[in-house]
């Protein structure tokens, strides 16, 4: 951030009175520009034990596999974001179950949230941001070609919980 989005004057970075962190501040119009973490929301679509993954057609991690997920939009709920991203990336319709993982990724200022989900039909196909979409048995998951550590963590916990007969919420930090 170099310029004030409210008045167009240059901003400076300093700690405002009463605050304890540096912010981008505009001395012309007195606006303080706070910056906050973003949420990435998606799901784990399951069909008869297999899980749907998407191969990314965009950077970062072009060509790597991911669970359907993406940035939550303003005026959306978490569930709406998960359903929208699954539709956009895989043209797939799911029924959402509980929130399964809530993962803080502080080095990129993100929080990733994945729901458990039941894939409703097999009529899926790659969206504009995917090269390929397919169902994987656990033994087929391309662990060394997964796009993000939050996806790896979520899938590892998911398969472990499924073997142990019960799903529970996983809240972890990815550093």
Q: Kindly tell me which residue out of 36, 59, 163, 164 binds a second copy, with binding defined by CB under 8 A.
A: 36
* Residue 102 is a binding residue for a second copy (CB under 8 A): yes
CB of 4 to a second copy, least distance (A): 7
142 binds a second copy (CB under 8 A): no
Give the list of residues 6+ apart from residue 96 with CB closer than 8 angstroms, or none. 43, 79, 82, 83, 115, 116, 117
Q: Which of 17, 18, 60, 166 binds a second copy (CB under 8 A)?
A: 18
Residue 78: other Cβ atoms inside 10 A? 15
CB of 122 to a second copy, least distance (A): 25
Site for a second copy (CB under 8 A): which residue of 13, 14, 30, 37? 37
The residues that touch a second copy, with contacts defined as CB under 8 A, are: 1-11, 18, 21, 24, 33-39, 71-80, 98-99, 102, 104, 106-107, 109, 111, 113, 128, 169, 171, 173
């Amino acid at each position: 951030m170099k310029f004030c989005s409210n008045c167009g004057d240059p901003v400076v970075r300093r700690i405002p009175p009463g605050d304890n962190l540096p912010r981008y501040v505009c001395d012309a119009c007195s606006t303080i520009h706070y910056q906050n973490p973003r949420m990435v929301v998606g799901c784990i679509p399951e069909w008869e034990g297999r899980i749907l993954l998407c191969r990314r057609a965009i950077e970062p991690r072009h060509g790597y596999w991911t669970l359907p997920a993406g940035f939550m939009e303003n005026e959306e709920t978490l569930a709406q974001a998960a359903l929208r991203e699954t539709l956009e990336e895989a043209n797939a319709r799911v029924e959402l179950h509980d929130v399964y993982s809530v993962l803080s990724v502080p080095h990129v200022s993100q929080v990733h949230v994945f729901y458990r989900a039941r894939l409703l039909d097999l009529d899926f196909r790659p969206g504009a941001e995917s090269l390929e979409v397919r169902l994987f048995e656990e033994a087929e998951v391309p662990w060394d070609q997964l796009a993000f550590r939050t996806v790896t963590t979520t899938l590892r916990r998911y398969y472990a919980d499924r073997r142990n007969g019960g799903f529970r919420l996983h809240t972890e930090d990815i550093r």
